[in-house]
Structures are given as C-alpha cells and as structure tokens.
Amino acid sequence: MNSILLAVLIVVVIGVIVGVVLAVASVLMAVPVDEKAVEIQEQLPGANCGACGFSGCSGYAAALSKGEAELGLCSPGGQAVIDAIAPILGQEAVASVPKTAVVHCNGTDDNTSKVTRYQGIHSCLAATQLYGGMGECSYGCIGFGDCVAECEYGAISVYNGVAVANPDLCKACGKCVNACPKKLISIEPKKSRAIVKCSNCDKGALTRKACKVGCIGCMKCVKTCENGAVKVENFHAVVDPEKCTGCGKCAEQCPQKIIFMA
C-alpha cells in the first residue's frame, strides 16, 4: 500500500474515533439547561450590575427560576421587567419601588477649601491611596468622578467639586456605590424623604473647621422627628428612609442646613 495513502487512512481512522468519543462525551457530560431561567434572563436588561444581590443577570434569573429570589429586585429593569417576568413564574406582578443614588456630601468648593494640591492620576481611588483627599474634610467627595465614569446612564455628574446624582436618569444599578472609595453614595427609595448630605464622622468642633455645612451632631433633627427616622451615628445624622414620612421638620431644625428634602 502506498505510504501516503496509508498515512491518510490512519488520520481518517483517528478522526472518526475522536469524533465518536467527543459525541459520547457531549451526551454523558451535558449540563441540563434551565429553560425557565433562560427565558427569564432574556427579559432582564443585561446590566450585570449586581444591584439585585446576585452575580449578574444570569445569577438572578437562575435564582428566580428556582424560587430562591424575590421578584422586583432588578432596579435598572423596573416595572417593565417585573411585568415581563411575572407570567413566566406564574405570579402576579408586584409594584416596583423606584430607587435612586444619593450622594451624602455637600462639601462643594463654596463650603470647604483645599489644603493641598494633587498631582497624579485623576482618580478618586488613586488619590485616597495617598491621603484622604485635597479638601479639609477627609470624609468629603474628592470630585474626580470615578462614579461618573462607572455610570452607564449619565445620571451622575460633578458640580462645584462634588458628585451629584440625577434621580430622573438614575437606574439604581449601584455601580457608583462601588466606585466611590469614600462610600458616600447609597441607593435609596425614590420618594419624599429627608437626605443628610454629610458623612463627616468628626466631632462638631472639628467638622465646623472643615466644612461650613458639615453635620455637627447637635441632635436637633433627632429630637424633632416624631417617627424616630433620624438618629446620630458617629457624630453625624442618619435618616432611615423606611421610617421617614417626608414631613421636613428635621430639615427646618438643622442649623447647618445639611438636611435636604427629596
């Protein structure tokens, strides 16, 4: 037999054997596909932001399919996603709770001052590796816009040295929360409520020196709130959005005018 023909025959036989082995392996090692999870994932926005508490849209879809997650956790998808997924799960659509990002700092260039000049990578994370920032308040917004770069919806901008979230554009995906090295951003229900735009944890006297509008922990907001929605933690006021009725009394009593009504 011709040596070339023999070599070709050997290669063909090996190819057939390998093909058969792969075909058998694909059957024996096949991973079952959750058809319901696939259908659910097709209705999700694909942001993979993790706002639902799962590892992206596929993780949330799998959990919904297994009954291990609540319907309505997809903030970017909102009511439209709830309405689309509810029939797949055989459930009634629940009402979506609109949420938005809130920046807890009002240390603008008008309210505080810089104590040093920064020359380096234009990044909040990079700046915090060296020190607390350029401003007198070491808790305040650096204003380099790491949160802006992360937002896919154009909902955050830096104005007068401080990040500001636009609730009309925000999808509450939470990427800005993870991007802020100072942890100044939180996701809150989009309803009439009080917002404390300060995160300074120093005592009142030090806070006054650092920022004109910093919370001094005077407790006036706590005393005036009839619903127990306000408390002082680490020398600054914190509002529980679930308890807040939006009456605005705490904002009226705040001597620093650091509480705003949304």
Measure Cα distances from 217 to 19, 26, 84, 228, 231 in Å: 73, 65, 46, 16, 9
Q: What is the pLDDT of residue 167?
A: 93
CATH of region 98-190, choose from 3.10.50.40, 3.30.43.10, 3.30.70.20, 1.10.132.20: 3.30.70.20
**Tokens describing residue 162:** 């401080």
Measure Cα distances from 125 to 122, 137, 141, 163, 177 in Å: 9, 16, 11, 14, 13
Class of domain 191-262: alpha beta
Shortest CA distance to 146 belongs to which of 136, 55, 129, 138? 129
Question: How wide is the angle at C-alpha 111 spanned by C-alphas 108 and 114, nearest 5°?
Answer: 75
Q: Which residue, chain included where needed, has tokens 């509450």?
A: 172
SS3 call for 97? coil
Q: What is the pLDDT of residue 143?
A: 93
In whole angstroms, give the CA distance from residue 259 to residue 104.
10
SS3 call for 84? helix
The domain ranges of the chain are 35-89, 98-190, 191-262
Q: What is the pLDDT of residues 107-160, one digit of tens each?
A: 999 999 888 888 888 899 988 887 677 888 989 999 999 999 999 999 999 999
Architecture of domain 35-89 in CATH?
Orthogonal Bundle (1.10)
Per DSSP, 67 falls in state T
Q: What is the pLDDT of residues 179-232, one digit of tens each?
A: 999 999 999 988 888 999 999 999 999 999 999 999 999 999 999 999 999 999
Q: Do domains 35-89 and 98-190 have the same CATH topology?
A: no
pTM, to two decimals:
0.79
Report whether pLDDT(249) > 60: yes
